[in-house]
Amino acid sequence: MKAKELLDRSPAELGEELLKLRREQFNLRMARATGQAAKPDQFAKVRKNIARVKTVLAQARQGLAKTSGGKA
């Protein structure tokens, strides 16, 4: 998931995506606790995706989402 893809989504869609990622993170933690963790690399990927979604949501709240065009 790329940040540019997230910029085109509405805050409601981002909220749904965040909820989905949090559920996935919880399921990964439960699988690891029961000894069934099949993909250990997924922990970092999900955590970083959650951070991306939260960053875009914060930018949208501040009105910066559509104006960010890269490095200045």
Provide CB contacts within 8 A for 43, sequence distance 6+.
25, 28, 32
Domain that holds residue 57: 3-62
pTM reported for the whole predicted model: 0.78
In a domain, 38, yes or no: yes
- Domain count across the chain: 1
In a domain, 46, yes or no: yes
Residue 13 to residue 66: CA distance in whole angstroms: 16
CATH code of the domain containing 46: 1.10.287.310
> Dihedral through CA 22, CA 23, CA 24, CA 27, nearest 10?
120
Least confident of 1-10, 50-59, 60-69: 60-69
Please write the tens of the pLDDT for every residue from 14-55. 999 999 999 999 999 999 999 887 788 899 999 999 999 999
In a domain, 9, yes or no: yes
